[in-house]
A and B are shown apart, each in its own frame.
Chain A
Amino acid sequence: MQYQEYTQSENNFEECTKCTVCTAYCPVMQVNPLYPGPKQAGPDGERLRLRDPGFFDEALKYCLNCKRCEVVCPSEVRVADIIQAARIKFENKPPKLRDTMLANTDTMGKLARPFAPLVNFATRQPVTKVALDFTLAIDRHRTFPTYSAHGFEGWLKRRRKEQAAFQEQVAYYHGCYVNYNYPKLGKDLVKVLNAMGIGVQLLEDEKCCGIALISNQLIKKATKNARFNVEQLAKAVDKGLKVVTTSSTCTLTLQEEYPNLLGVDNSAVRDSLLMATRFIYEKLEQGATLPYRPDFHKRVAYHTPCHMQRLGWGVFSQRLLQMIPGIEFIPLEQTCCGMAGTYGFKKENYATSQAIGEPLFEQIRSVNPDVVACDCETCKWQIEMSTGYKVDNPISILADAIARTD
């Protein structure tokens, strides 16, 4: 009988050779002595947890889920997934009110929108911040993202006819950030794609990708959202459409976290899901063109969000930006901004977040760009708050760089 035909252990954590590269590159390890590090939290800990669930280490909650451990692992161990999966399985603590509020972005967005100007005003006031600090342990230093009075979905719905007129069509998973906080990014994407002769349509419906729900242990809701989103994506894919995204974290969640952490099968839609920068770059590579403005000049520093690094698609955003005439492109050395979504809002994590992000902030200050390019919205909040420099999604920069088509 032939045995062990395979050299890859089917247990991914067993491929760990204990080289400790992950631990050397973990941003949390550098600043928080309470975190055991990815090797221990992940493959080492897995052997113990298989022996007895009681060995689950509460300190796993300090993991940012930045996935840098996975990016640097020479053995292809999905360290961050092992840690997150353990948290999902064993961290049986009911989430606090604060975490539930932070994680339910769709709900908070819908509630805030009718009162957006008031909400935005209130969250800027020091007295509000102090109150939130005391009552909910949301750190008072943290700047809140603003809410938009007008959602993106409504804006695009009103232009349905004109978008349908384009010969080529693409669907857009916009995510909660674009819809509730920053519709401009969605509008920028439409502008760029229209300039290439591509019309943009919404999915029939969509929910928040659920990354914040996963991080805050609201797994049931996250799984519900996941199944719903996969269904909606499938409807678009069945129509022969590709689905583009503008957020690196949404993309990673839809592509990887759904099957790996939530057990939601997305195999029918995965290949049709593309970040907009990849989609546009591939089009340009195949001969499409963009009407660049001749008078566009910008000094742009590109920051690769951690999840983008994990996706491996940072090269597309970079290439796309480099192709813009008049751009002075400076790639920043990849390092975590420290925000990690809802992580950085929490009082107990604030100092860690800022300590982790400091090398990046220093880099940005020394480069002194006109704008920082970045595909992740929470990186944007963090960098803008911590350095004062403006951050734009590469799509927004691209939109700025092309002539208006109307």
Chain B
Amino acid sequence: MRYDAVIVGGGLAGLTAGISLQKAGKKTAIVSTGQNALYFFSGCFESIQEPTPEILSLFSEAGVRVHYTPGVRLMPMGTFKESALALDDVSLFPAPDFGKKVLIINFMAYHDFFSSFLAQGLEKQGMECRIRFLNLGDLAQPELGPNQMRAVQIARKLDDVWEKVVQEVRVLLKDEDTVVLPQVFGLNDASIPERIRQGIPARVVFAGTLPPSVPGIRTQNLLKKRYEVLGGTYLLGDRVTGAHVYEDVVQNVVTKQLDRHYLEADHFILASGSFFSKGLSSNPFKIYEPLFELDMDYDTDRNTWYDPTFANHQPYLGFGVKTDAEFHPSRHGVPVKNLYVIGSILGETHPELGSGAGLAIRSALQVTQLITGKP
């Protein structure tokens, strides 16, 4: 099959590139090995201090509700982190205006939302907290078994009965000015978090849980749908296993499932992610990019890959594929003319683009501009 661009990797970077290219009239395909880091998305688009209209319309056109409020957000362990652009679910407020009295709501037998640590973290900062537990079995039948109490399964139930949660919280609410709920709302309906806010006479803050991330899955679904509605082909569960490169130009890529049915394109975008998704690989002696064997930026002395203190920044997280100003990588110093690299596989090689979501989105949009020739 022939495309204008084939994108290796269907995470935030790949989807952003795919959506923007389709919007610009290009025919694209995305190949994705399973799900991606959006699955445990915190809801906050890191390192995007000032979103451009392009970034905002990317989300609004896909039905992803975001808001831009430079300030801080509440982390699940009771601390605050600077943020500016986040999903609707994630409240952002100017520090330190969080509240004085907090009612924290959790579900019985749900072990992935750390209400006591959240409370302790807030109390250390001078707030008064009260924790109350709701019984999910009272709200929705049939009751979930003890090992079905995961964010995504709870969210599926709550999609139907979230109004009951609002009622219960209203009954429990005393004189608190802030209510904290776990991020288990709005799996399929992005409007639910806002509707919950409207139903509770206090500031409502949704705090994260252990993966899966309900807002993350919702966002992934919305972006993928948007891509497909624009005419993109999302090949889920397939993996690019090889490429034919001739005279520094990628001719086509081979996938595991399509085997001899090569994917041909004018442009190829590598958005295969970091170690987690095997966009980068490692053995005791080296770190490398396994698909094209692209030149990398890292220190070959393994001892430099790690900081022995877990809490410190880990060097290996910053390793990435080397590219020029136009995101072209090289093999043995020779640039690959029609290959672009975007997203977390870049590591910290483009510090001006930020990290995480900021890196993914910015690099994807810039590459789209390069490919379409439009600003």
- Whole-angstrom CA separation of A6 from B285 in the bound complex: 11
Fill in one digit per residue for B283-314: 1 if any A CB lies within 8 Å of its CB, else 0.
11000000000000000000000000000000
- Tell me if A29 and B148 are in contact (CB < 8 A): yes
Q: A20-B212, A313-B257 are in contact. Are A33 and B235 (CB under 8 A)?
A: no
* Residue on A nearest B36 in the bound complex, by CB: A74
- Tell me if A331 and B150 are in contact (CB < 8 A): no
B281 to chain A, nearest CB (A): 5
- Tell me if A309 and B283 are in contact (CB < 8 A): no
Say if the beta carbon of B33 comes within 8 Å of chain A: yes
- Whole-angstrom CA separation of A312 from B240 in the bound complex: 12
Say if the beta carbon of B167 comes within 8 Å of chain A: no
Say if the beta carbon of A377 comes within 8 Å of chain B: no
Kindly specify which of B52-60, B83-91, B258-266 makes contact with the partner chain. B258-266
- Tell me if A21 and B235 are in contact (CB < 8 A): no
- Tell me if A312 and B150 are in contact (CB < 8 A): no
Say if the beta carbon of A167 comes within 8 Å of chain B: no
- Whole-angstrom CA separation of A314 from B199 in the bound complex: 43
Say if the beta carbon of B372 comes within 8 Å of chain A: no
Q: Which residues of chain B in 136-185 are interfacial with respect to chain A, using CB atoms and an 8 Å cutoff?
A: 144-145, 147-148, 150, 152-153, 156
Question: Most chain-B Cβ atoms within 10 A of its Cβ — which of A24, A72, A271?
Answer: A24
Q: A4-B283, A23-B150, A30-B156 are in contact. Are A76 and B212 (CB under 8 A)?
A: no
- Whole-angstrom CA separation of A282 from B1 in the bound complex: 9
B125 to chain A, nearest CB (A): 32
- Tell me if B276 and A17 are in contact (CB < 8 A): yes
- Whole-angstrom CA separation of A3 from B283 in the bound complex: 9
Query: When the two chains form the complex, which single residue of B35, B153, B260 contacts A30, counting CB atoms closer than 8 Å?
Result: B153
- Tell me if B276 and A74 are in contact (CB < 8 A): yes
Q: A6-B283, A72-B34 are in contact. Are A33 and B237 (CB under 8 A)?
A: no
- Per the CB 8 Å criterion, the residue count for chain B at the interface is 40
B133 to chain A, nearest CB (A): 20
- Whole-angstrom CA separation of A260 from B148 in the bound complex: 30
Say if the beta carbon of B217 comes within 8 Å of chain A: yes
A274 to chain B, nearest CB (A): 10
- Whole-angstrom CA separation of A228 from B238 in the bound complex: 30
- Whole-angstrom CA separation of A34 from B153 in the bound complex: 15
Query: When the two chains form the complex, which single residue of B1, B148, B150, B257 contacts A33, counting CB atoms closer than 8 Å?
Result: B148
* Residue on A nearest B280 in the bound complex, by CB: A7
Q: A21-B212, A24-B217, A315-B233 are in contact. Are A74 and B148 (CB under 8 A)?
A: no
Question: Most chain-B Cβ atoms within 10 A of its Cβ — which of A37, A72, A334?
Answer: A72
**Total A-B Cβ pairs within 8 A:** 89
Question: Which range holds the interface residue count of chain A?
Answer: 35 or more
Contacts of A392 in B (CB 8 A): none
Say if the beta carbon of A36 comes within 8 Å of chain B: yes
- Tell me if B258 and A312 are in contact (CB < 8 A): yes
Q: A74-B33, A75-B34 are in contact. Are A7 and B282 (CB under 8 A)?
A: yes
- Tell me if B228 and A3 are in contact (CB < 8 A): no
- Tell me if A24 and B150 are in contact (CB < 8 A): yes
- Tell me if B233 and A21 are in contact (CB < 8 A): no
- Tell me if B148 and A72 are in contact (CB < 8 A): no
* Residue on B nearest A18 in the bound complex, by CB: B211
B302 to chain A, nearest CB (A): 12
Q: A74-B276, A312-B235 are in contact. Are A19 and B284 (CB under 8 A)?
A: no
- Tell me if B237 and A315 are in contact (CB < 8 A): no
Q: Which residues of chain A in 3-51 are interfacial with respect to chain B, using CB atoms and an 8 Å cutoff?
A: 3-7, 17, 19-21, 23-25, 29-30, 33-34, 36-37
Say if the beta carbon of A71 comes within 8 Å of chain B: yes
Say if the beta carbon of A285 comes within 8 Å of chain B: yes
- Whole-angstrom CA separation of A41 from B40 in the bound complex: 22
Q: Which residues of chain B in 21-52 are interfacial with respect to chain A, using CB atoms and an 8 Å cutoff?
A: 33-36, 39-40
- Tell me if B144 and A33 are in contact (CB < 8 A): yes
Q: Which residues of chain A in 242-290 are interfacial with respect to chain B, using CB atoms and an 8 Å cutoff?
A: 271, 278, 282, 285
- Whole-angstrom CA separation of A334 from B236 in the bound complex: 11
Say if the beta carbon of B255 comes within 8 Å of chain A: yes
Query: When the two chains form the complex, which single residue of A4, A25, A271, A333 contacts B259, counting CB atoms closer than 8 Å?
Result: A271
Q: Which residues of chain A in 296-354 are interfacial with respect to chain B, using CB atoms and an 8 Å cutoff?
A: 309-313, 315, 331, 333-334
- Tell me if A24 and B283 are in contact (CB < 8 A): no
Fill in one digit per residue for B205-238: 1 if any A CB lies within 8 Å of its CB, else 0.
0000001100001000000010010000101111
Say if the beta carbon of B278 comes within 8 Å of chain A: yes
Q: List 5 A-B contacts (CB under 8 A).
A: A71-B237, A76-B239, A309-B236, A312-B255, A315-B233
